[in-house]
Amino acid sequence: MAEKQQSSYPKAPATNGYTRSDAEAAHDARDQRKKKRTKCLLYIVLFAIFQAAVIAIFAVTIMKVRTPRFRVRSATFENFNVGTPAAPAFSARMNAELGVKNANFGRYKYRNTTVVFMYRGTPVGQAVLKNSRVNWRATKKIDVAVDLSLGNAAANSQLGSDLSAGIVPITSQARMTGRVELVFIMKKNKATEMNCNMEIVTATRQLRNIVCK
């Protein structure tokens, strides 16, 4: 029992044969190298998976191209003119604040854009926006002055009743075209439509109920 213990115990000092201990050491080293290689391979695989996940997240968040939102935000009026019940008419200068909301992780460059204002399907005024850009994840506010003149719409029999009700419904429409620049290099064409309904309250000369699709 004591002998057995003695023979198996002293390994490193190796009084009982260097050769066997050398072979064992070499085997151990090979084993260790193999383990290291396996570990290294595992790390590479894990890193590849991690990288794929990062790229996937990148693709669905940062690299995703979102449609900018283009709308009428608010407006005030001046030179307000409502006709008489006998001769219904309406004209005003509308100082409108438009907004282009860019939710992309890259700026949006848009081209010249015309916004048409309509009264029950008849164009009654327009605003022209010069080409510009919206910073990434920002809203650009654009002030425009629009001369609304419902002279074209005078033939519309509803104008009299709208004016006596004190509410003039207006819609605004536009198609804005431009490009989203993602990460400064990837450029993608993106157009956005404005399609808003709103009401001018003649008594208070205010714009209310702006609803944009």
Contacts with ligand NAG, residue ranges (CB under 6 A): 111-112, 130-131
Which of residues 70 and 77 has its CB atom nearest to ligand NAG in the complex? Answer: 70
**Category of 194 on φ-ψ map: left (φ > 0), alpha (ψ -120 to 50) or beta:** beta
**209 close to 197: Cβ distance less than 8 angstroms:** yes
Q: Smallest gap, in angstroms, from Cβ of residue 128 to ligand NAG? A: 7
With a CB cutoff of 8 Å and minimum separation 6, the contacts of 23 are none
Can you name the residues that pair with 199 across neighbouring β-strands? 169, 208
Q: Smallest gap, in angstroms, from Cβ of residue 131 to ligand NAG? A: 6
Which of residues 140 and 153 has its CB atom nearest to ligand NAG in the complex? Answer: 140
CA distances from 176 to 49, 100, 114, 169, 186 (A): 40, 10, 8, 23, 20
Q: Smallest gap, in angstroms, from Cβ of residue 57 to ligand NAG? A: 37
Angle at 72 between CA 194 and CA 188, to 5 degrees: 45
* 3 state SS for 61-114: CCCCCCCCEEEEEEEEEEEEEECCCCCCCEEEEEEEEEEEEECCCCCEEECCEE
Q: Smallest gap, in angstroms, from Cβ of residue 186 to ligand NAG? A: 23
Q: How far apart are CA 182 and CA 48, in angstroms?
A: 24
Which of residues 42 and 128 has its CB atom nearest to ligand NAG in the complex? Answer: 128
Which of residues 64 and 111 has its CB atom nearest to ligand NAG in the complex? Answer: 111
Which of residues 34 and 111 has its CB atom nearest to ligand NAG in the complex? Answer: 111
Q: Smallest gap, in angstroms, from Cβ of residue 201 to ligand NAG? A: 32
Which of residues 170 and 179 has its CB atom nearest to ligand NAG in the complex? Answer: 179
Question: What is the C-alpha end-to-end distance of the chain, expressed in Å?
Answer: 92
Q: Smallest gap, in angstroms, from Cβ of residue 162 to ligand NAG? A: 33
Q: How far apart are CA 174 and CA 195, in angstroms?
A: 7
Nearest residue to the partner ligand NAG, using Cβ: 112
